[in-house]
Each structure stands twice: as structure tokens, then as C-alpha cells.
Amino acid sequence: MDKKLRIDLLRVPKHVAIIMDGNGRWAKGKGMSRIFGHKNALTAVRESIETAADIGVEAITLYAFSTENWSRPKMEVDALMKLLIKSLKKELPTFQKNEVQVNAIGNIDSLPDNAQKTLAEVRELTKKNTRIILTLALSYGSREEIVKAIKNISKKVVNKELDLENIDENTINNHLYTFNLPNVDLMIRTSGEQRISNFLLWQMAYAELYFTDILWPDFRQEHFYDAIIEYQNRERRFGKTSEQLTE
């Protein structure tokens, strides 16, 4: 049976986040450099975005480069930045064809100037697309994001722009990079690792976590379907009992 036919299109997650892990191990297994793995991961990126859009997912966020990744060898970091620029330019026609709006979160100012420029151009050219929002987490760390939000909220309290007693979850949400996105419903991590790795900690408070042994360069449409089917087979209670949900 076609896996897509097993999916209830009325219950797909609104927001899917993916930790794209395993590029280095995939390349090493073939006797190649780590960057070879990164280059061969683009098919997985494309298929995941297109599949998500096809089944009605509203937003997909990809953990492309973390704040911790800056500590990797300079040669690999430079290659990743060049790959980012090349990929954005190459995929632009596909983004337009599939009505993908490109977004980015993280400390974008820390990226190389040419990467910032290309990213800004692609964001501008796709801003009117409405089928799905693709968010690239670049130079991103969730703890840094939360600290930044707290500082901004504190400044408003000090400047009498915000009353301390009025601070609630919505206040924090509105000061995060993801203020315009729904909370994450499903997080997928490839390569067998079972960690969140400082990714969207606040936004994933009630997300379903799905881990697969598939290395990211091998991740395809059928694997995305597997994650969605598993998501739909789980009972999402949000603190309630099964009986309450039935009622």
C-alpha cells in the first residue's frame, strides 16, 4: 500500500522540525570527506520540503548550522557557507514553483557577508509564497535565542513599556525568532542519535520526537511518510488523560 494513502491529511503536523544528522558518517562510510556528505544531502532537503508541502504541512524548519558548529575545522565551515550560497541560488526556481517562503532564524549577522546577501535576496523573492514556510536555522542555538528574548523583555520592563505582571507565555513567544511560526508538532532526527542538541527547546515543549537510523543523505520521501505515520499513531494528550480525549 502506498504510504501516502495511510496518512490522514486532516491530521498532519502544522510544523515539522528536522535535525539533519549523519552527513559526515555517510561520507566516511564511502571513504570521502565530510563536505562530500553535506553536498549529497541536498536531495534529502529537497524531498523533505516538497513532501511536507504536498501533504499540507504549514512550516518546516531545518537545523542547518548551529552556534556550536562554528567550532568545526575552518575548511569545513567555509565549505558549508559556500554550499549554502550555491544551494539557495540553485533551489530558488524550485522554491518559486512550489510556493515555498524562505525564512531564517539564528544569529544571521554572524554569517559571512555574501551568505547574508544571498539569504536576504532569496527571502525577499519568496516572501509572497504561501504554500509552506521553510525556515533555515543558521548560526542558531536555542539557549542563545531564549537569553536574547529575556534581555529584550527586561529592557521593555525597565523602560516601562511592559508591566512585569503581564509577562506570560505569549510574551516570550513574541520575542523568539519563531514568533511567526506555530509551535513544533513533530521533530525528526536522522542518524540514530537521540538528542535535541539545543534546537527549538521552547518551541518543542509538546512536540512528538521521532528518531531514525537513516543517515540524512539517504533520507527520502518514504522516510518522511514513516515519520508522519508514526506521529499520527501517537496519542497527543497535552497533559490530559486518554479518557478526556475520548470524551
Tens-digit pLDDT profile for the chain (247 aa)?
689 999 999 999 999 999 999 999 999 999 999 999 999 999 999 999 999 999 999 999 999 999 999 999 999 999 999 999 999 999 999 999 999 999 999 999 999 999 999 999 999 999 999 999 999 999 999 999 999 999 999 999 999 999 999 999 999 999 999 999 999 999 999 999 999 999 999 999 999 999 999 999 999 999 999 999 999 999 876 566 555 556 6
- Contact (Cβ atoms closer than 8 angstroms) between residue 185 and residue 52: no
pTM: 0.93
> Does 16 fall in a domain?
yes
Q: What does the angle CA 232 – CA 61 – CA 193 come to, to the nearest 5 degrees?
A: 70
Binding residues for Mg(2+): 21, 208
Instruction: Domain count for the chain, please give it.
Output: 1
Q: Residue 197 sits in a domain of what CATH number?
A: 3.40.1180.10
Residue 162 domain-assigned (yes or no) = yes
Q: Is 168 a catalytic residue?
A: no
In a domain, 225, yes or no: no
Answer whether residue 231 is part of any domain. Answer: no
Residue positions in the annotated binding site?
21-26, 34, 38, 66-68, 70, 72, 189, 195-197, 208
Q: Tell me if residue 180 is catalytic.
A: no
* 8 A C-beta contact, residue 232 and residue 11: yes
Catalytic residue among 21, 98, 103, 185: 21
232, part of any domain: no
What 3-state class would DSSP assign to 170? helix
Q: Flag whether 59 is in a domain.
A: no
Which residues make Cβ contacts (< 8 Å) with residue 212, sequence separation at least 6?
188, 189, 190, 191, 192, 219, 223, 226, 227
- Which structural domain range is residue 161 located in? 12-53+65-217
Provide CB contacts within 8 A for 177, sequence distance 6+.
Answer: 105, 106, 140, 145
